[in-house]
A and B are shown apart, each in its own frame.
Chain A
Amino acid sequence: MKQLLILSGKGGTGKTTIASAFIKLSGARAYADCDVDAPNLHLVTGQGFTPKKTDYYGLPKAEINAERCIKCNQCRQKCRFSAILIEKKHLVEKNYQVDPFACEGCGVCEAVCPVGAIALKPAVAGELMLYSNEKKVFSTAQLKMGSGTSGMLVTEVKKQMKSAAADTELAIIDGSPGIGCPVIASLSGVDMVLIVAEPSVSGISDMERIIKTATKFGTKIAVCINKYNTNIENTEKIEEFCAKQGLPFIGKIPFDAEAVKAINNGQTIVDIECPSGTAVTAVYHKTIALLFEEDGRSA
């Protein structure tokens, strides 16, 4: 399976718009949304049936048994995440409690408690969803509000897609913004990253950081620009940057009010006749050629 991941560094440059167009154009049988704390791909890929849902258990959370607790304060002293709170009742009585938002499930409190009052309990941190029929496999997830561990859920989303569609030739993966743990988790094992850049000073700065990140993990990179005509000068800067870095620059997509309308109707930009749809089709063909051409070198 060849995996194409779409990233951008900056948010809102058009990752999902482009991913959904690619899915449509390729008739991809496998795709995934790794932006687990703000997933949107399902809104434009028209599933038409209900997914298989699985609870995702992240790291466990500590729980203090108030009856056993002797209030020795050792857990609170050792916790590096300030997750042990003292609840005051009527200004006197003190109860030790765990702040579930702050607890990272490391288990130090459990290990240090002299009376065995603390136990780590499994905690649901999100929900995995798998849309699967004879035509396609779509893996996505939703992180539970207040849960932290998005990188691990990203790994699960990809695992779920791979095991359900092992024989598929091409998989398209929509990534998340940033360069941190969810992005690093999404990069692992993919064959190529398409960076969707935006011609703004912020967009350029963020693009440079995501390119450095993908380079560090040794992933093949290609770059395209979305909304290129909103700032021609910055578009030229991005093209120059790619030329200088020796990165394949594979096209630019114009800003297009029709694209916004299509998305708001739950359609991809290649479902309608529009300039951005035409441009993204050209970008798609170049991306696929690049993804499959260098088999020899990557093997």
Chain B
Amino acid sequence: MRIAVLSGKGGTGKTLVSVNLAAAAHKAVYIDCDVEEPNGHLFFKPAVIQEEEIAIKIPAVDNTRCNGCRQCVDFCKFNALASIKNQNKLIIFEEVCHSCGGCIMLCPEKALTEKEKVIGKIQKGMSDAVTVYTGILNIGEASGIPIIKQLLDDHKDTSGMPVFIDCPPGSACIVMESIKDADYCILVAEPTLFGVHNLNMVYELVKLFGKQFSVVLNKCLDGENPAEKFCIEKNIKIIGRIPFDTELGIINSNAEIAVRKNPKYGDIFSSLLETVVREVQHKHETTSHSQR
């Protein structure tokens, strides 16, 4: 059961929701796919058991073999290669290479080979009974997609244990990669104009990907909630409301886990967890019915 938590806008409470749901479940897996700015580990403070480097394959040139034919330069759609005129010298811009392997495949002189370049790492550790996976992109690297792929590939089969996927903000490729194999999506929304605008974007995204989803409203105050209004208009299911609460704010800003800190929050997230699990199981039943 893989549950992705996303929001479009940053700072709406993705990490709050996914960390506390995993903690409320006791035995669970938490995967931080926000590899550019991972924060879940700050809350779980896992003992680091394993660390794995993530490398991508990029071309390396043997300039004694390059005859300056420019086939690779002309082929590369990402402009990751340049050839210096009259010098038979090839330059590779590693940061923009997408690792497609096309240049190596095409080189008639076999002047290009593949080498590994480390772009980040994955840490795996335990926090009570929660297994915490953290992807960390190295500073200056453009794409965390290979790290996200690796993080999620490790969890194709989770044998019933709930897996909570903490997604990056936005709606671009890194978010798409993070929700691709999720069984269910939770959209976390805050009651602001910006929050609603970005909620609409991820709503469009999960629809496009054919995902089952529902909304958790965070930072709820008395009075009108534009995010709630949006959900009602679009007929989107709201499965939880987390109040705007100074105590929760302080616990969260100190990177403490609310569920473990105060039973009051334990109750809120346990009941949210029950609803989520019920939703996912209900979805499974309906899909298996329709397959018959």
Contacts and interface: CB of A to CB of B under 8 A. Distances in A.
B39 A263 contact: no
Interface residues of A, number: 65
A81 B101 CA distance: 11
Interface string B1-18: 000000011111001000
A107 B77 contact: yes
B173 A202 contact: no
Contacts of A216: 139-140
A217 B140 CA distance: 8
Given A143-B171, A264-B192, A9 B77 contact: no
Interface string A58-85: 0110000000000000000010110000
Given A143-B171, A148-B176, A205-B39, A38 B100 contact: no
Nearest to A17: B194
A201 B255 contact: yes
B102 A151 contact: no
Contact of B37 (A43, A184, A209, A234): A209
Interface centre among B171, B176, B252 (most CB of A within 10 A): B171
B166 to A, nearest CB: 11
Contact of B77 (A36, A38, A106): A106
Interface in A176-229: 176-184, 198-203, 205-206, 209-210, 212-213, 216-217
B201 A145 contact: yes
Interface stretch (B46-54, B141-149, B261-269, B272-280): B141-149
Interface string B190-225: 101110011001001100110000000000000000
A132 interface: no
Nearest to B145: A148
Interface in B70-97: 75, 77-78, 95
Contact of B9 (A12, A104, A201, A217): A12
A44 B193 CA distance: 9
B226 A146 contact: no
Interface string B118-152: 00000000000000000001011111100000000
Given A202-B15, A205-B39, A106 B169 contact: no
A93 B250 CA distance: 59
A44 B10 CA distance: 17
B106 interface: yes
B162 interface: no
Contact of A179 (B9, B98, B137, B254): B137
A98 B105 CA distance: 20
Contacts of B10: 8, 10-13, 38, 177
A37 interface: yes
B158 interface: no
A101 B211 CA distance: 15
Given A111-B102, A216-B140, A177 B253 contact: no
Contacts of B75: 107, 111
A39 to B, nearest CB: 8
Instruction: Bin chain B's interface residue count.
Output: 35 or more
Indicate the member of B168, B169, B226 with the most A CB atoms within 10 Å.
B169
Contacts of B78: 59, 106
Which of A37, A104, A205, A206 has the most B CB atoms < 10 Å from its CB?
A: A37
Interface string B35-72: 01101001000000000000000000000000000000
Contact of B192 (A210, A231, A260): A260
Interface string A12-52: 11001000000000000000000111101001100000000
B204 A38 contact: no
Nearest to B170: A37
Given A43-B197, A111-B105, A145-B204, A201 B254 contact: yes
Contact of B99 (A13, A80, A146): A80
Contacts of B98: 104, 106
Nearest to B219: A260
A9 B140 CA distance: 13
Contact of A149 (B173, B175, B201): B173
Nearest to A260: B192
A183 to B, nearest CB: 8
Contacts of A206: 37, 39
Contacts of A112: 105
18 contacts: A12-B11, A36-B172, A37-B170, A37-B201, A40-B194, A81-B100, A101-B176, A145-B171, A146-B205, A178-B34, A179-B36, A200-B252, A201-B254, A202-B39, A205-B37, A216-B140, A230-B250, A260-B192
Given A40-B198, A112-B105, A178-B34, 10 more contacts: A38-B197, A44-B193, A78-B105, A150-B172, A177-B170, A178-B37, A178-B170, A180-B144, A213-B139, A213-B140
Interface of B: 8-12, 15, 34, 36-37, 39, 42, 75, 77-78, 95, 98-102, 105-106, 137, 139-144, 168-176, 190, 192-194, 197-198, 201, 204-205, 208-209, 226, 249-250, 252-255
